[in-house]
């Protein structure tokens, strides 16, 4: 049985609670939910949905890269978005960033997220 490795990078915000940015077991990387917070800790909850989505996805991918992966190795994404009306905007930003790669994905509308943010995104990736 492989050990569990915890991933930390300064290219994404530090965890604000009792969790790791990501955990690796074998060749699988489990990236914790990422809010639109800049790597220096600035919450972007007052920005447009698109800006928030870009930052949350950038955080997720920075952590995946720190674990030895990249956008083309993402297997599964779950996005929690406030407001079903933001779904088309999420699709646009996500497709732009992920390009031709299409991981398995779930988008979950939620009533609210921490710090007034409009998106949180988590992922499972391969090394």
* List of domains in the chain: 4-126 (3.30.1330.40)
This prediction has a pTM of: 0.96
Written as one string, the DSSP assignment of 36-77 is SB-TTS-B-TTS-HHHHHHHHHHHHHHHHHHTT--GGGEEEE
6 sits in which H/E element? strand 4-7
Note the pLDDT tens digit of each residue in 111-125.
999 999 999 999 999
Q: Cα 34 from chain centroid?
A: 4
Q: Is 101 helix (H, G, I), strand (E, B) or coil?
A: coil
Give residue-wise pLDDT tens across range 64-88: 999 999 999 999 999 999 999 999 9
Picking from 58, 56, 69, the residue whose alpha carbon sits closest to that of residue 30 is 69
């Amino acid at each position: 049985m492989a050990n569990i490795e915890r991933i930390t990078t300064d290219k994404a915000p530090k965890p604000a609670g009792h969790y790791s940015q990501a955990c690796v077991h074998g060749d699988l990387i489990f990236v914790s939910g990422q809010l639109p917070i800049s790597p220096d800790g600035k919450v972007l909850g007052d920005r447009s949905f698109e800006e928030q989505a870009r930052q949350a996805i950038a955080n997720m991918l920075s952590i995946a890269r720190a674990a030895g992966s990249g956008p083309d190795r993402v297997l599964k994404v779950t996005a929690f978005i406030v407001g079903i009306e933001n779904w088309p905007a999420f699709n646009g930003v996500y497709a732009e960033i992920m390009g031709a790669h299409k991981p398995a994905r779930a988008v979950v509308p939620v009533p609210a997220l921490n710090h007034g943010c409009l998106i949180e995104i988590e992922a499972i990736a391969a090394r």
